[in-house]
Structure 1
Amino acid sequence: MLRYKFLLFLTITFNFISLSSISPSLAQVSSIPQPSEAPLELDLLTKPKGSVITSDTINLSGLSTPSLWWARDSSENKLLDNWIAYPATEKGVGRVDLIVNQQIWSLLDYLERYNFINRLGSTARRDSYNVRVFNYQKELLGTYTCSFNSSPSNCNIELNTQDKLRRYQ
Protein backbone atom coordinates (compact mmCIF):
# COMPACT_ATOMS: atom_id res chain seq x y z
CA MET A 1 0.00 0.00 0.00
CA LEU A 2 2.86 2.36 0.82
CA ARG A 3 4.46 1.63 -2.55
CA TYR A 4 1.13 2.36 -4.28
CA LYS A 5 0.81 5.72 -2.47
CA PHE A 6 4.40 6.59 -3.36
CA LEU A 7 3.81 5.78 -7.05
CA LEU A 8 0.59 7.81 -7.00
CA PHE A 9 2.45 10.71 -5.40
CA LEU A 10 5.18 10.53 -8.06
CA THR A 11 2.58 10.44 -10.85
CA ILE A 12 0.71 13.45 -9.50
CA THR A 13 3.97 15.33 -8.90
CA PHE A 14 5.21 14.57 -12.42
CA ASN A 15 1.90 15.64 -13.94
CA PHE A 16 1.89 18.83 -11.88
CA ILE A 17 5.45 19.68 -12.94
CA SER A 18 4.63 18.90 -16.57
CA LEU A 19 1.49 21.03 -16.48
CA SER A 20 3.15 23.90 -14.63
CA SER A 21 5.91 24.10 -17.22
CA ILE A 22 3.29 24.68 -19.90
CA SER A 23 1.79 28.10 -19.65
CA PRO A 24 -1.82 27.74 -20.74
CA SER A 25 -3.39 30.56 -22.64
CA LEU A 26 -6.33 32.42 -21.11
CA ALA A 27 -8.64 30.72 -23.63
CA GLN A 28 -7.56 27.28 -22.41
CA VAL A 29 -8.10 28.11 -18.76
CA SER A 30 -11.49 29.73 -19.23
CA SER A 31 -12.79 27.01 -21.57
CA ILE A 32 -13.34 24.58 -18.71
CA PRO A 33 -16.74 25.28 -17.15
CA GLN A 34 -17.31 25.76 -13.46
CA PRO A 35 -18.98 22.86 -11.62
CA SER A 36 -22.76 22.97 -11.53
CA GLU A 37 -24.22 24.92 -8.63
CA ALA A 38 -27.49 22.96 -8.69
CA PRO A 39 -28.40 21.61 -5.26
CA LEU A 40 -28.02 17.93 -4.48
CA GLU A 41 -31.47 16.30 -4.64
CA LEU A 42 -31.24 13.28 -2.33
CA ASP A 43 -34.95 12.53 -2.74
CA LEU A 44 -34.18 11.39 -6.30
CA LEU A 45 -32.40 8.35 -4.83
CA THR A 46 -35.74 6.87 -3.80
CA LYS A 47 -38.02 8.61 -6.33
CA PRO A 48 -36.11 9.18 -9.60
CA LYS A 49 -37.87 11.45 -12.10
CA GLY A 50 -37.64 11.46 -15.87
CA SER A 51 -34.30 10.32 -17.25
CA VAL A 52 -32.42 10.53 -13.91
CA ILE A 53 -30.34 7.40 -13.21
CA THR A 54 -29.27 6.08 -9.81
CA SER A 55 -27.33 2.98 -8.79
CA ASP A 56 -30.69 1.22 -8.40
CA THR A 57 -31.87 2.03 -11.95
CA ILE A 58 -32.22 -1.04 -14.14
CA ASN A 59 -32.14 -0.68 -17.92
CA LEU A 60 -33.70 -3.72 -19.57
CA SER A 61 -32.22 -2.96 -23.01
CA GLY A 62 -28.54 -2.67 -22.01
CA LEU A 63 -26.11 -0.82 -19.77
CA SER A 64 -27.22 2.55 -18.47
CA THR A 65 -24.94 5.50 -19.04
CA PRO A 66 -22.80 6.42 -17.18
CA SER A 67 -21.73 2.95 -16.15
CA LEU A 68 -20.45 3.32 -12.59
CA TRP A 69 -21.66 -0.05 -11.31
CA TRP A 70 -18.36 -1.79 -11.94
CA ALA A 71 -16.47 0.92 -10.03
CA ARG A 72 -18.86 0.63 -7.10
CA ASP A 73 -18.90 -3.15 -7.04
CA SER A 74 -15.15 -3.56 -7.37
CA SER A 75 -12.95 -1.18 -5.47
CA GLU A 76 -15.35 1.53 -4.30
CA ASN A 77 -17.97 -0.66 -2.63
CA LYS A 78 -17.65 0.80 0.85
CA LEU A 79 -16.82 4.39 -0.15
CA LEU A 80 -19.18 5.03 -3.07
CA ASP A 81 -22.67 4.63 -1.64
CA ASN A 82 -24.89 5.87 -4.46
CA TRP A 83 -25.14 8.30 -7.34
CA ILE A 84 -27.61 10.44 -9.25
CA ALA A 85 -26.91 10.93 -12.95
CA TYR A 86 -28.54 13.74 -14.89
CA PRO A 87 -28.25 13.24 -18.67
CA ALA A 88 -27.21 16.15 -20.89
CA THR A 89 -29.85 18.72 -21.81
CA GLU A 90 -29.97 21.79 -24.01
CA LYS A 91 -28.73 23.74 -20.97
CA GLY A 92 -25.57 21.72 -20.43
CA VAL A 93 -23.60 18.50 -20.30
CA GLY A 94 -24.51 15.48 -18.20
CA ARG A 95 -23.69 15.48 -14.51
CA VAL A 96 -23.25 12.74 -11.91
CA ASP A 97 -23.60 13.47 -8.22
CA LEU A 98 -21.71 10.80 -6.26
CA ILE A 99 -22.71 10.23 -2.64
CA VAL A 100 -19.97 8.80 -0.46
CA ASN A 101 -19.90 7.23 2.97
CA GLN A 102 -18.63 10.08 5.19
CA GLN A 103 -17.00 7.73 7.69
CA ILE A 104 -14.87 6.10 5.00
CA TRP A 105 -14.17 9.44 3.25
CA SER A 106 -12.87 10.94 6.50
CA LEU A 107 -10.35 8.08 6.80
CA LEU A 108 -8.82 8.87 3.40
CA ASP A 109 -5.82 11.12 3.05
CA TYR A 110 -5.59 13.85 0.44
CA LEU A 111 -4.04 11.64 -2.27
CA GLU A 112 -6.61 8.88 -1.78
CA ARG A 113 -9.45 11.41 -2.14
CA TYR A 114 -7.86 12.90 -5.24
CA ASN A 115 -7.37 9.42 -6.71
CA PHE A 116 -11.02 8.49 -6.04
CA ILE A 117 -12.33 11.63 -7.77
CA ASN A 118 -9.90 11.19 -10.66
CA ARG A 119 -10.82 7.51 -11.23
CA LEU A 120 -14.57 8.01 -11.15
CA GLY A 121 -14.35 11.31 -13.02
CA SER A 122 -12.36 9.61 -15.78
CA THR A 123 -15.00 6.86 -15.98
CA ALA A 124 -17.84 9.39 -16.22
CA ARG A 125 -15.89 11.54 -18.71
CA ARG A 126 -15.99 8.67 -21.24
CA ASP A 127 -19.76 9.19 -21.38
CA SER A 128 -19.45 13.03 -21.35
CA TYR A 129 -20.51 13.50 -17.72
CA ASN A 130 -19.05 15.87 -15.14
CA VAL A 131 -18.85 14.69 -11.52
CA ARG A 132 -19.57 16.20 -8.13
CA VAL A 133 -18.88 14.33 -4.87
CA PHE A 134 -21.10 14.82 -1.81
CA ASN A 135 -21.80 13.23 1.55
CA TYR A 136 -25.33 12.68 2.88
CA GLN A 137 -25.13 16.02 4.69
CA LYS A 138 -25.07 17.58 1.17
CA GLU A 139 -21.54 18.94 1.65
CA LEU A 140 -19.65 19.33 -1.62
CA LEU A 141 -16.40 17.35 -1.22
CA GLY A 142 -14.96 17.60 -4.72
CA THR A 143 -15.63 17.94 -8.45
CA TYR A 144 -14.32 16.66 -11.77
CA THR A 145 -15.35 19.08 -14.52
CA CYS A 146 -14.48 18.89 -18.22
CA SER A 147 -14.87 20.90 -21.36
CA PHE A 148 -16.04 18.38 -23.92
CA ASN A 149 -15.62 20.85 -26.81
CA SER A 150 -11.96 19.93 -27.30
CA SER A 151 -10.22 16.67 -28.04
CA PRO A 152 -8.90 15.42 -25.72
CA SER A 153 -11.23 16.92 -23.10
CA ASN A 154 -9.72 19.54 -20.81
CA CYS A 155 -10.61 18.72 -17.20
CA ASN A 156 -10.22 20.18 -13.71
CA ILE A 157 -10.38 18.48 -10.35
CA GLU A 158 -11.44 20.54 -7.37
CA LEU A 159 -11.02 19.05 -3.93
CA ASN A 160 -12.54 20.43 -0.76
CA THR A 161 -9.74 20.99 1.71
CA GLN A 162 -10.80 22.65 4.95
CA ASP A 163 -14.04 24.06 3.51
CA LYS A 164 -12.38 25.39 0.35
CA LEU A 165 -12.41 23.92 -3.12
CA ARG A 166 -8.90 23.75 -4.60
CA ARG A 167 -8.55 23.45 -8.37
CA TYR A 168 -6.10 21.13 -10.13
CA GLN A 169 -5.74 21.00 -13.86
Structure 2
Amino acid sequence: MSTDNLMSRALASLNEIDGPMSIEVIHRLADTSEVREPMTIAEVADLLDVSSHTLRYYERAGLVEVDRDSSGHRSYQPEAVRRLVFLTRMRLSGMAIRDLQHYISLVDSGEQTVPERLDMLLEHRDTIRRQIRELTLSLAATEYKITTYGGTAGDTC
Protein backbone atom coordinates (compact mmCIF):
# COMPACT_ATOMS: atom_id res chain seq x y z
CA MET A 1 0.00 0.00 0.00
CA SER A 2 1.51 3.35 -1.05
CA THR A 3 0.98 6.83 0.29
CA ASP A 4 -1.50 7.40 -2.55
CA ASN A 5 -3.57 4.49 -1.20
CA LEU A 6 -3.31 5.84 2.35
CA MET A 7 -4.39 9.27 1.14
CA SER A 8 -7.23 7.83 -0.93
CA ARG A 9 -8.51 5.92 2.12
CA ALA A 10 -8.16 9.00 4.30
CA LEU A 11 -9.95 11.25 1.83
CA ALA A 12 -12.70 8.69 1.32
CA SER A 13 -13.15 8.58 5.08
CA LEU A 14 -13.33 12.34 5.21
CA ASN A 15 -16.04 12.35 2.53
CA GLU A 16 -18.13 10.09 4.76
CA ILE A 17 -18.13 12.70 7.50
CA ASP A 18 -21.38 14.48 8.10
CA GLY A 19 -20.61 16.96 10.84
CA PRO A 20 -17.67 16.82 13.24
CA MET A 21 -15.15 14.02 12.82
CA SER A 22 -16.03 11.00 14.92
CA ILE A 23 -13.40 9.07 16.80
CA GLU A 24 -14.04 6.08 14.48
CA VAL A 25 -13.24 8.14 11.39
CA ILE A 26 -10.11 9.48 13.00
CA HIS A 27 -8.99 5.94 13.86
CA ARG A 28 -9.56 4.89 10.25
CA LEU A 29 -7.35 7.75 9.07
CA ALA A 30 -4.47 6.33 11.11
CA ASP A 31 -5.32 2.69 10.42
CA THR A 32 -2.33 0.56 9.57
CA SER A 33 -4.07 -2.72 10.33
CA GLU A 34 -2.86 -4.08 7.00
CA VAL A 35 0.66 -3.91 8.44
CA ARG A 36 0.92 -7.15 10.38
CA GLU A 37 4.43 -8.32 9.59
CA PRO A 38 7.70 -6.46 10.00
CA MET A 39 8.59 -4.35 6.99
CA THR A 40 11.91 -3.48 5.39
CA ILE A 41 13.11 0.08 5.12
CA ALA A 42 12.35 0.05 1.38
CA GLU A 43 8.78 -1.11 2.02
CA VAL A 44 8.18 1.57 4.65
CA ALA A 45 9.74 4.25 2.46
CA ASP A 46 7.44 3.21 -0.40
CA LEU A 47 4.40 3.08 1.87
CA LEU A 48 4.99 6.57 3.23
CA ASP A 49 6.48 8.07 0.05
CA VAL A 50 9.61 9.18 1.85
CA SER A 51 13.23 8.27 1.28
CA SER A 52 15.14 5.63 3.19
CA HIS A 53 17.43 8.49 4.23
CA THR A 54 14.45 10.23 5.88
CA LEU A 55 13.56 7.07 7.81
CA ARG A 56 17.13 6.66 9.01
CA TYR A 57 17.14 10.34 10.03
CA TYR A 58 13.95 9.88 12.07
CA GLU A 59 15.61 6.94 13.79
CA ARG A 60 18.80 8.92 14.53
CA ALA A 61 16.68 11.82 15.80
CA GLY A 62 15.09 9.48 18.34
CA LEU A 63 11.61 9.68 16.82
CA VAL A 64 11.22 5.95 16.20
CA GLU A 65 12.86 2.76 17.43
CA VAL A 66 13.61 0.20 14.77
CA ASP A 67 14.47 -3.43 15.36
CA ARG A 68 17.15 -5.26 13.41
CA ASP A 69 16.78 -8.67 11.84
CA SER A 70 19.37 -11.45 12.15
CA SER A 71 21.32 -9.92 9.26
CA GLY A 72 21.38 -6.50 10.90
CA HIS A 73 18.87 -4.96 8.49
CA ARG A 74 16.17 -2.63 9.78
CA SER A 75 12.90 -4.37 10.56
CA TYR A 76 9.96 -2.03 11.09
CA GLN A 77 7.36 -3.48 13.43
CA PRO A 78 3.71 -2.41 13.01
CA GLU A 79 4.00 -0.03 16.00
CA ALA A 80 6.96 1.73 14.37
CA VAL A 81 5.05 2.02 11.09
CA ARG A 82 2.07 3.55 12.91
CA ARG A 83 4.36 6.06 14.58
CA LEU A 84 5.96 6.88 11.23
CA VAL A 85 2.54 7.47 9.65
CA PHE A 86 1.89 10.05 12.38
CA LEU A 87 5.35 11.59 12.08
CA THR A 88 5.16 11.97 8.31
CA ARG A 89 1.69 13.59 8.56
CA MET A 90 2.98 16.02 11.17
CA ARG A 91 6.06 16.86 9.10
CA LEU A 92 3.89 17.39 6.01
CA SER A 93 1.79 19.81 8.04
CA GLY A 94 4.90 21.75 9.02
CA MET A 95 5.64 20.53 12.53
CA ALA A 96 9.32 21.06 13.31
CA ILE A 97 11.57 18.10 14.10
CA ARG A 98 12.39 19.56 17.53
CA ASP A 99 8.66 19.76 18.30
CA LEU A 100 8.20 16.16 17.17
CA GLN A 101 11.13 15.11 19.34
CA HIS A 102 9.53 16.83 22.31
CA TYR A 103 6.14 15.26 21.54
CA ILE A 104 7.66 11.75 21.21
CA SER A 105 9.59 12.21 24.46
CA LEU A 106 6.28 13.08 26.12
CA VAL A 107 4.61 10.01 24.62
CA ASP A 108 7.45 7.83 25.83
CA SER A 109 7.22 9.40 29.31
CA GLY A 110 3.73 8.09 29.90
CA GLU A 111 0.12 9.02 30.48
CA GLN A 112 0.89 11.89 32.85
CA THR A 113 2.06 13.91 29.81
CA VAL A 114 -1.29 13.72 27.99
CA PRO A 115 -2.30 17.30 28.90
CA GLU A 116 0.93 18.72 27.47
CA ARG A 117 0.61 16.57 24.34
CA LEU A 118 -2.95 17.78 23.91
CA ASP A 119 -1.82 21.40 24.21
CA MET A 120 0.85 20.83 21.57
CA LEU A 121 -1.61 19.26 19.16
CA LEU A 122 -4.26 21.94 19.73
CA GLU A 123 -1.67 24.61 18.94
CA HIS A 124 -0.54 22.71 15.85
CA ARG A 125 -4.15 22.31 14.72
CA ASP A 126 -4.56 26.08 14.91
CA THR A 127 -1.42 26.50 12.80
CA ILE A 128 -2.72 24.04 10.20
CA ARG A 129 -6.09 25.79 10.05
CA ARG A 130 -4.33 29.13 9.51
CA GLN A 131 -2.22 27.58 6.74
CA ILE A 132 -5.34 26.18 5.07
CA ARG A 133 -6.99 29.62 5.11
CA GLU A 134 -3.84 31.19 3.68
CA LEU A 135 -3.57 28.52 0.98
CA THR A 136 -7.26 28.96 0.14
CA LEU A 137 -6.65 32.69 -0.39
CA SER A 138 -3.57 31.90 -2.49
CA LEU A 139 -5.59 29.46 -4.59
CA ALA A 140 -8.29 32.08 -5.13
CA ALA A 141 -5.69 34.62 -6.25
CA THR A 142 -4.15 32.07 -8.60
CA GLU A 143 -7.56 31.13 -10.03
CA TYR A 144 -8.30 34.82 -10.58
CA LYS A 145 -5.07 35.32 -12.52
CA ILE A 146 -5.71 32.17 -14.58
CA THR A 147 -9.07 33.55 -15.66
CA THR A 148 -7.54 36.94 -16.51
CA TYR A 149 -5.22 35.13 -18.91
CA GLY A 150 -8.12 33.33 -20.57
CA GLY A 151 -7.91 30.09 -18.64
CA THR A 152 -10.73 28.43 -16.78
CA ALA A 153 -10.82 28.50 -13.00
CA GLY A 154 -10.95 25.10 -11.39
CA ASP A 155 -9.19 23.21 -14.19
CA THR A 156 -7.10 20.31 -13.01
CA CYS A 157 -4.34 18.43 -14.72
Q: Is the TM value for this pair above 0.5?
A: no
TM-score relative to the length of structure 1: 0.24
Higher relative contact order (CA 8 A, sep 6+): 1
| More helix, by proportion | 2
